Chain A
Amino acid sequence: METVTITMKNQPALYLEADNVAPDKFAGKTAPQIAELHVYEGNTTSTLGKYFEVAGNAGATAADTRIVVKGDVKKVKYLGMKMSAGELVVEGSTDLYAGAWMSGGTMLVKGNVEAFAATGMKGGELIIEGNAGNYLGSAYRGDWRGVSGGKILVKGNAGSDVGQYMLGGEIVINGNADVHVMTHAEGGKVTIKGNAKSKLGGQLVDGTIIVFGTIDVMMPGFKFVDNVELEVDGTKAKFAHFIGDTGERHKKRKGQLIYGNLYKKI
C-alpha cells in the first residue's frame, strides 16, 4: 500500500470543498498530479496544491492507496467523500460531510467531525476519535434512503439526528447523543454507550436502538415488552425492551407486525 501525505500549508479564507481527497480519486496518480486535482473555495475553482503540500505517490488502485491528512483542516469539507476502498487518516478535526456516501475502505479521524459525517454511507468503516456533529450517519437532506451499510464508531459524543432514515449498517457512540436518534429509520442499529436525551426512534419503522445510560424522555409511541439479557460489544447486561414507534406504519412478516426495537440498560 502506498501512502500519500497532504499537509495544509495555506489556510483557505473561506471553507474549502475537497471532494477529491479520497483514495479513489488519488489512485494511479503521482504527487504532482494529485496537486492538480480541483477544490472549490466559495465560487472559485482551484487546485489541491494551492492549499496542501502533497508528498508521495498513490497506489495503482484505491485499495492500494492510503491518504494521511495533516495540519489544521477544520475548514475543509467532504474529506473521504464517496471513497470505496483504501485508507484515509485525518490527524486533526475536520468540517462537514466527512466520509459522506462512502461505500468501502476505512476512514479514521483523530479529532472531531462536524455535521453530516457519513451521510448516505453504503459500506466501509468510519472511526471518529473525538466528537461527531449533528446528522451523523443520516440521509441526505430530503432523501428517504439513508445509510444502508458500513460501520461508524464515535469515541466521543454525537450531536442530534443520528441515523435519520437509516436502512442498515451500524453506529456506535461511546459517549452521549443529543436529541432525535434513528428518526424514520427502517433498519440498522445505533448503540449509545452514554446517555441519550429525547425523541429516540420517532416514526421508527424498523431497526434497533440500544442505550446503556439514561434517557431523559421516552417517546410516547414506544411500548414496554419485557426485560431481556443481551450481549452488546462483549458486555453482557440486562435491558428493558421496548417496541415502536406504535404511531407509525409497520411491515408484516408471517402475519406479525414488525416493530422497531429500543433496549435500555437496567
Chain B
Amino acid sequence: MAEYIIKNGHVFDPLQGIKGDKADVAIKDGKIVKDNQVSSKAKTIDAKGKTVMAGAIEIHAHIAGPKVNIGRIYRPEDKLFTYTPKKGNIRMAGGTSIPTTFKTGYEYAKMGYTTAMEAAMPPLFSRHVHEEIRDTPIIDEGAFPVFGNNWFVMEYLKNNEIENTSAYCAWLLRATKGYAIKLVNPGGTEAWAWGLNCLSVNDPVPYFDITPAEIIKGLIEANEYLGLPHSIHIHPNNLGNPGNYTTTLDTLKLAEGYKAKNKFGRDQVMHLTHTQFHSYGGDNWANFESKSKEIMDYVNKTKNITIDTGNVTLDETTTMTADGPFEHHLTELNHLKWANVDVELETAAGVVPYIYSPDIKVCAIQWAIGLELALMAKDASRCFITTDHPNAGPFTRYPRVIKWLMSAKAREAQIKAFKNSDKVIAATHIAGMDREISLYELAQMTRAGPAKSLGLASMCGGLKPGMDADVVVYDFSPDKPVANPDQIEAAFSRAAHVFKSGVEVVTNGEVVNNGNKRTIWVNAKVKENPQVMRDIQEKFLKYYSVSQANYEALGHHFIPNPYAIEVDASQ
C-alpha cells in the first residue's frame, strides 16, 4: 500500500489534545504511523496553511434501507435535474434529500466523512439495508436495528427479564449484522398499530401493558449487561410537538444512576438523537418556542449522556422515521404525500416530504434551536453535529451548519433574512449568542466525540499512530481571519485530500478512488439461552411472514467486507 506523509498542516486532534499545532501525519499500510516510520518513497502532501483532522464520523443518518428507498421511489421530483453521468470508476449519481447509494458515499467522502451509521434498521429488512450499505462506496458503515417497539423486548421487559432481553438483543444484532440498540418512540410506534401513540414516558403501550420508561430503562440495562460499544441510541417519545421538552427531560432522567460498563472507553449510557426535534416549548404552533437552554442545562451537568443536534438546514427535504404516528401527524399538517409501513412484530415507518421555509416562523425557530444546542454545549465531545439526514435537512448541508456554528456573522445574516425575524428572536436565544465554535471543538463534535460515543475511539476519529488512517486535509487556514463566512462552507464542502484506511479517496474535492468500504457490526456472545431461542422459533412459526432461515443477513452478497467487533458477555 502507498505511504503518505502529510506535512506542515495545522492538526486538530482532540484524542491527543493537539490544537492546531503544525505537525506531520504519516500513513503506512492503512494505518497512521509515527512520522519516522514511513520510507523515503512516501508521497508528500503539502498541507501548509491547511487544516488536518481525522475523518469525520456520522453518528445518525438515514442513508440505507427500505424507508430511504420508499423516499427515492415516491419522490422522483427529488432527483429531477440532479444526475451526473458516469465518469471513469465513478458511477452515475443523483438525488437531493434522498440521494442514490453511490451519491451518498461520494458526497460524504468529499466532505471528509469516512464512517457513517444508518440510524434505524428494521430488523426484518436488514437484508435490504445491507444491500444498500454494500452499494454505498468508500465510507465504513454500521446500522442500528430498532428495538423500542419489538414484541420480544416488550414481553421480556414486562417481567423485567434483563438476561433474556440481552440474549435476544445479542441474537438480533447477529442476525441483522447490526451495530447498536436503537429505540424510536419507544412503545409509541407499537401503539400506532392500534391507532394510538405514547406521548409521555408513562403512557402504557396497548396490549403489552408496559411503559416507554420501562422499555428505556430495561434496554439500558441490557446494553450494559452486554457491554456493547455504543449505548442505547434513543429517539424519545413526543417528537416534534410544542412543549415536548418535558418528555425529553423525563427521558434523559431515566439514565440517572446507570454507569457505562464496556471495554471500549465509552462513558455514556444513553445517546439522545436529533435533540432539536425534542427541545420545544409552548403548547401550540403560535406560542412555539425554544427550550434549548433547559435541555442543555441538564445535558451539561449529566456526564452519562451524549446527544446529537439534528440541525434544520432550511431546505426542501424528505422526512422519514420509524415514528409512524409522527409522520401521520406531519402529513395532516402539510398535506404532502404520506407513505406508511408496518413491519410485523418489530416496528413501522412513515415518509413525508417537508419544506423548511425561512419564511415560516416555526421552521426558523427550529433552525435556531439546533444551533443553540451546539452553542450551549459546555463539553463539545458530548454534543455531535447531525441533520438527522434527511429529516431536518440533507447531510450535504453539514458545511453550511459548520459555517453557522463557526461564524456569529453568518448566523446574524440568516436571522435578518427570516421573514418573521422579530418573532423568531423573541422565541429563541440565538440572537444574543456570540460563541463561535473553534476548529478544535468542531473536531470534538464531528470526530473524537462520536467515535468515543460509538465505542470506536481506538479505531477512528483520531490521528494517533496505530489507528485507521482516515485523514482529511481541508483548504482552510486557521491563521487567517475569515473575511467571508462562505469560505468556511466552501472549505468544508470539498476537502483537499481525504484518506480512507490509507487510500486517497478524494483529491481537490473530487472522488478519485472507491476505497475499500467495510460493514461494521457487533458480535455479542452470551450464555446459551434455550428459552430465548425457543421463543424466537415460536414467533417465527406463529407470526412472522418469513422463516427464520430467510431472516438473517448472511454472507458475501449482503456483507462483502465485514468488520465484526467482538463482545463477550457469556461470563
Q: Which residues of A contact B (CB under 8 A)?
A: 140-144, 249
B409 at the interface (CB under 8 A from A): no
Chain B 68-82 interface mask (CB, 8 Å, partner A; 1/0): 000000111110100
**Nearest chain B CB to A185 CB, angstrom units:** 14
B419 at the interface (CB under 8 A from A): no
In Å, the complex CA distance between A172 and B335 comes to 29
Contact between chains at B74 and A142 (CB < 8 Å): yes
Contacts of A143 in B (CB 8 A): 76-77, 80
Which of A141, A142, A143, A144 has the largest number of chain B CB atoms within 10 A? Answer: A142
Contacts of B336 in A (CB 8 A): 144
Contacts of A249 in B (CB 8 A): 335
In Å, the complex CA distance between A144 and B335 comes to 10
B253 at the interface (CB under 8 A from A): no
In Å, the complex CA distance between A55 and B337 comes to 48
Contact between chains at A141 and B335 (CB < 8 Å): no
Contacts of A141 in B (CB 8 A): 76-77
Contact between chains at B75 and A142 (CB < 8 Å): yes
Contact between chains at A140 and B335 (CB < 8 Å): no
Contacts of B335 in A (CB 8 A): 249
Interface size on B, residues (CB 8 A): 9
**Nearest chain B CB to A78 CB, angstrom units:** 12
Q: Which residues of B contact A (CB under 8 A)?
A: 74-78, 80, 335-337
In Å, the complex CA distance between A143 and B318 comes to 13
Using CB atoms, name the residue of chain B closest to A82. Answer: B81
Contacts of A140 in B (CB 8 A): 76-77, 80
**Nearest chain B CB to A97 CB, angstrom units:** 12
Contacts of A142 in B (CB 8 A): 74-78
Compute the total of residue contacts between A and B using a CB distance below 8 Å: 16
Using CB atoms, name the residue of chain A closest to B78. Answer: A142
Using CB atoms, name the residue of chain B closest to A205. Answer: B335
In Å, the complex CA distance between A13 and B335 comes to 44
16 contacts between A and B (CB under 8 A): A140-B76, A140-B77, A140-B80, A141-B76, A141-B77, A142-B74, A142-B75, A142-B76, A142-B77, A142-B78, A143-B76, A143-B77, A143-B80, A144-B336, A144-B337, A249-B335
Using CB atoms, name the residue of chain A closest to B74. Answer: A142
Using CB atoms, name the residue of chain A closest to B337. Answer: A144
Using CB atoms, name the residue of chain A closest to B92. Answer: A43
Give the 6 A-B CB pairs with smallest separation, nearest first.
A143-B77, A142-B76, A142-B77, A141-B76, A142-B75, A140-B77
**Nearest chain A CB to B143 CB, angstrom units:** 27
**Nearest chain A CB to B254 CB, angstrom units:** 39
In Å, the complex CA distance between A140 and B335 comes to 18
Question: Known pairs A141-B77, A142-B74, A249-B335. 10 more at Cβ < 8 A?
Answer: A140-B76, A140-B77, A140-B80, A141-B76, A142-B75, A142-B76, A143-B77, A143-B80, A144-B336, A144-B337
In Å, the complex CA distance between A249 and B333 comes to 12
Using CB atoms, name the residue of chain B closest to A186. Answer: B335
In Å, the complex CA distance between A142 and B78 comes to 9
Using CB atoms, name the residue of chain A closest to B77. Answer: A143
In Å, the complex CA distance between A118 and B559 comes to 46
Using CB atoms, name the residue of chain A closest to B80. Answer: A140
In Å, the complex CA distance between A144 and B77 comes to 9
Using CB atoms, name the residue of chain B closest to A249. Answer: B335
In Å, the complex CA distance between A143 and B75 comes to 7
**Nearest chain A CB to B201 CB, angstrom units:** 34
In Å, the complex CA distance between A143 and B337 comes to 10
In Å, the complex CA distance between A249 and B336 comes to 12
**Nearest chain A CB to B85 CB, angstrom units:** 8
In Å, the complex CA distance between A142 and B77 comes to 6
Contacts of B78 in A (CB 8 A): 142
**Nearest chain A CB to B549 CB, angstrom units:** 37
Contacts of B80 in A (CB 8 A): 140, 143
In Å, the complex CA distance between A249 and B335 comes to 9
In Å, the complex CA distance between A141 and B74 comes to 9
**Nearest chain A CB to B35 CB, angstrom units:** 47
In Å, the complex CA distance between A144 and B76 comes to 11
In Å, the complex CA distance between A140 and B337 comes to 14
Contacts of B75 in A (CB 8 A): 142
In Å, the complex CA distance between A149 and B76 comes to 22
Contacts of A144 in B (CB 8 A): 336-337
In Å, the complex CA distance between A141 and B79 comes to 11
**Nearest chain A CB to B70 CB, angstrom units:** 12
In Å, the complex CA distance between A61 and B78 comes to 31
**Nearest chain B CB to A147 CB, angstrom units:** 14
Contacts of B337 in A (CB 8 A): 144
Using CB atoms, name the residue of chain A closest to B86. Answer: A43
**Nearest chain A CB to B370 CB, angstrom units:** 26
In Å, the complex CA distance between A143 and B355 comes to 13
**Nearest chain A CB to B351 CB, angstrom units:** 12
In Å, the complex CA distance between A143 and B78 comes to 8
In Å, the complex CA distance between A141 and B76 comes to 6
In Å, the complex CA distance between A9 and B80 comes to 31
**Nearest chain B CB to A180 CB, angstrom units:** 17
**Nearest chain B CB to A118 CB, angstrom units:** 16
Contacts of B76 in A (CB 8 A): 140-143
Using CB atoms, name the residue of chain B closest to A144. Answer: B336
In Å, the complex CA distance between A141 and B337 comes to 13
**Nearest chain B CB to A98 CB, angstrom units:** 17
Contacts of B77 in A (CB 8 A): 140-143
Which of B77, B336, B337 has the largest number of chain A CB atoms within 10 A? Answer: B77
In Å, the complex CA distance between A171 and B74 comes to 27
In Å, the complex CA distance between A249 and B78 comes to 25
**Nearest chain A CB to B336 CB, angstrom units:** 6
**Nearest chain B CB to A187 CB, angstrom units:** 15
**Nearest chain A CB to B72 CB, angstrom units:** 10
In Å, the complex CA distance between A144 and B331 comes to 13
In Å, the complex CA distance between A83 and B386 comes to 39
In Å, the complex CA distance between A66 and B376 comes to 60
In Å, the complex CA distance between A150 and B78 comes to 24
In Å, the complex CA distance between A141 and B78 comes to 10
Contacts of B74 in A (CB 8 A): 142
**Nearest chain B CB to A100 CB, angstrom units:** 11
In Å, the complex CA distance between A47 and B164 comes to 67
Using CB atoms, name the residue of chain A closest to B336. Answer: A144
Using CB atoms, name the residue of chain B closest to A248. Answer: B335
In Å, the complex CA distance between A140 and B81 comes to 12
Using CB atoms, name the residue of chain A closest to B335. Answer: A249
In Å, the complex CA distance between A144 and B80 comes to 13
